[in-house]
């Protein structure tokens, strides 16, 4: 569809959709994987390197609530210190804001897709817990 930040939170095309929010760089880096995800989702891109997490989080939360999104899928490049923030937002929506829709997390590493469990995202936010696994 387009850019997350330039899409109206009450756009008719969003209403009741399954939403994919993905790292903007995937258009160039992994277009075939992106097309696979776009087939079943309305998709919006964002670059977390250029946009602060608070701005993205506020916009995305309002889209979820006001457009009655039925599922959120997050797709990023693995290992990016910027992209991981999208996953942190998804976990925050569930934990702190009580979003009740399914939120699915995916990363791409060397051309392979990995589904990321919420426990891994929680762990990534707490480095003191990570040391137990080293």
pTM: 0.94
Domain residue spans of the chain: 2-133
Q: Which fold has domain 2-133?
A: Rossmann fold (3.40.50)
Q: What is the mean pLDDT of residues 26-32?
A: 96
Distance CA 127, CA 133 (A): 10
pLDDT recorded at residue 115: 98
Distance CA 106, CA 90 (A): 11
Q: What is the mean pLDDT of residues 92-101?
A: 89
Paired sense of beta strands 42-46 and 18-23, if any = parallel
Decide: 42 and 94 in contact? Cβ < 8 Å: no
DSSP output for 51-105 = S-HHHHHHHHHHHHHHTT-SEEEEEEETT-TTTHHHHHHHHHHHHTT---S-EEE
- Span between the terminal Cα atoms of the chain, in Å: 41
């Amino acid at each position: 569809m387009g850019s997350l930040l330039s899409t109206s939170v009450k756009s008719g095309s969003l209403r009741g959709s399954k939403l994919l929010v993905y790292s903007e760089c995937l258009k160039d880096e992994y277009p075939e994987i992106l097309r696979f995800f776009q087939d079943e989702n309305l998709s919006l891109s964002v670059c977390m390197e250029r946009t602060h997490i608070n701005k993205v989080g506020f916009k995305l939360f309002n889209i979820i609530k006001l457009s009655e999104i039925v599922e959120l899928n997050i797709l990023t490049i693995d290992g990016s210190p910027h992209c991981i923030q999208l996953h942190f937002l998804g976990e925050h929506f569930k934990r702190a804001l009580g979003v009740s829709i399914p939120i699915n997390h995916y990363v791409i590493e060397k051309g392979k897709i990995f589904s990321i469990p919420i426990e891994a995202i929680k762990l990534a936010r707490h480095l003191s817990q990570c040391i137990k696994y080293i």
